Structure 1
Amino acid sequence: MTANCTNAPDAVPSDAGVAGVGVLLSFIITAGISLVLSASLIFQEARSRNSSSESVLRRKLLNSYSDQQILTGIGLQSIGLGKVSSMVPYHFFLVWMLSLLSMAVHNATLLALARDFRRDWVLRWMRQLLMLANLVLSCVYGVYVLRAVERGINDSTFPVSCVWDAATPDYPPSGNYALSFAGTIVVIAGNVLIFALSTWYLHARTQRFYVVLQVVGLLLMTAFAIGATVRVAYLADAFASGTPIKLSDDGERQWSFGQLLSVGMLVLPLVSVVEILRGEIKCAPPVAMVYDDDKGVLLGEGGSGSGSEGEQQELRARSNPGVRRAADFQPNPLWGSQTNLFKK
């Protein structure tokens, strides 16, 4: 469908598929649960210096909610890009905020569960691909938003694809033009920087100041998530008393089947927890840590140090912190080794 970039309508229809009350609440509630679980795991590890078997359920639950959040975020961004010829900048910006929220949740999960991902190269690189897809989509959204701010149509009813159309009339800059323009650039640059740091954190063979990185990163991602949530709550018609544009209906406030389904999806990860409690699904215990010279060494697959082989491995790890066991980090079969990213 060709976008009309010459005459802006007085009002546009609502889009409950991307800005409905159920969709927004699903993202926000999932983010809250995931951040709380990440914080509990990180601070438990920092306090006890050992991952207790009691954290298995929380790790499973956190992993499920995080996967659900980032996959939904990628899907929502893909839908938004497919509708650029009809979606207005208001809805486009809300999708971008939700993508930033999902990114913050995923990075917080990475801080809490990175050791689990390092033990399996398939899981690790699957996370890497999800992070890359989310970054690319988020940067594309940021460029669209930046262009809309530059042309002064970020609060107009033109389709978002009109930011590239020369026939679209330019509007005078808004009062917060400089702040919006600079803030958008900072967010795009911050996304790239966070992606680079997350990639290093996920694939690093040795970890110094591990707990400090976890705590600082968690606080940063929590602040990022709170900022995105406040922005959504301030703009969205589902929560706010007024929106920057006029909507022709109140569909984003209605609890339709799609909105109820979005919230109902929050229950799915709990099913796995019930199955684990009932003994239907077996999960590997969380990775234990041995701290020596600020370097963590994971326990081998032979158990938590029980038995002669496990005791010998533990003694070797304590006497030589540079020796890392096979369960520490599983390199992919194409390149890299236990200790080097590039050499076999």
Structure 2
Amino acid sequence: MSGFTPRGLALLALLGFARPASATECDPPSGISTCFDANTLWHHAGPSRFASVAPAEPVPERRLAFAGLLTYLDRPVLLNAPSPDPEGRDIRVVGSVVDLSLAYAYALPGGLELTLATPVVLHQSGAGAEGITSQSAPPLGAVAVRDPRVGVAHALPLGLGPSFALKPRLELTLPLGDDDRYAGSGAFGLAPSVATAFRAGALHGAGEVGVRLRRAVTFATARVGSALATSVGFGADLWDERLSLELEAFILPSLVSQPGRQTASSRVRDGVLVPAEWLASLRSVPTSDPALALSLGGGTGLPLSSETRATDGGATTEHFTGVTTPRFRLFFGVRYSPGI
């Protein structure tokens, strides 16, 4: 018998996402779990021009970088329920959200960075999970704490100067959020990724590829769990580096298979859950210190999720914005990145 080492058992316990106190709550008989984050945008501290792309350039040794992002999301969790209307009835489980994310990065000697992100819900509205089955249920809690993230990152010394940068990172999500308010997963999660950035005159770009490993839960006809995490951004300086236009997009294809189902007139199969958004923003450096930057922008969800509905007359594929994809997003960001 080969057995497991203590380290292996610890890793399995972490990736098993077991937290006994909330195991039943996160897998309710109704099939409407609240144990996932309605806001899938992860904001990071450091020298980045984009809201959804993690920084690839290093933070100077023994310096602290900071980033704050105030966000408004519209209808990130919407459920279409059966009703006399042939198109069903849309329930705003999470209708509107105002979020604040504060992120920090401190560089140790040798270039290793310690990171922390503390997102919170300042205000939200919606029917909540109980509002799906009861018209007299209390509304969704107005304030909440999201799962914080701690991590490490290290910019690789490529010797290419400021024109190209590469930084791998590893983040751990801590189950401290309100998992009964669509603000936490109720379990640990792990997220390795690699970010890259380049500059060429007035043009610049960045990208990030990674995976978010977390426990899968059921939300009506969808399964929300581990996902690939990809983001990309391109921008151009409009006035030196004091004003720039940024375009970006992020996409999280689910690694969890989506269940099929049978309706009265059709068979639904081949479901694909792909939360995705595009964003545009203006970034400005308002003072003589280039380390301080402000950004203002917004965007919409992308209908990349899909399912195939088969009937006696054939099969059709429908595309839609999946769960955790808001109808639109607005944001204001403040970033301080010393050493720029």
Q: What TM-score comes out, normalization by structure 2 length?
A: 0.23
Query: Greater share of strand residues, 1 or 2?
Result: 2
Query: Greater share of helix residues, 1 or 2?
Result: 1
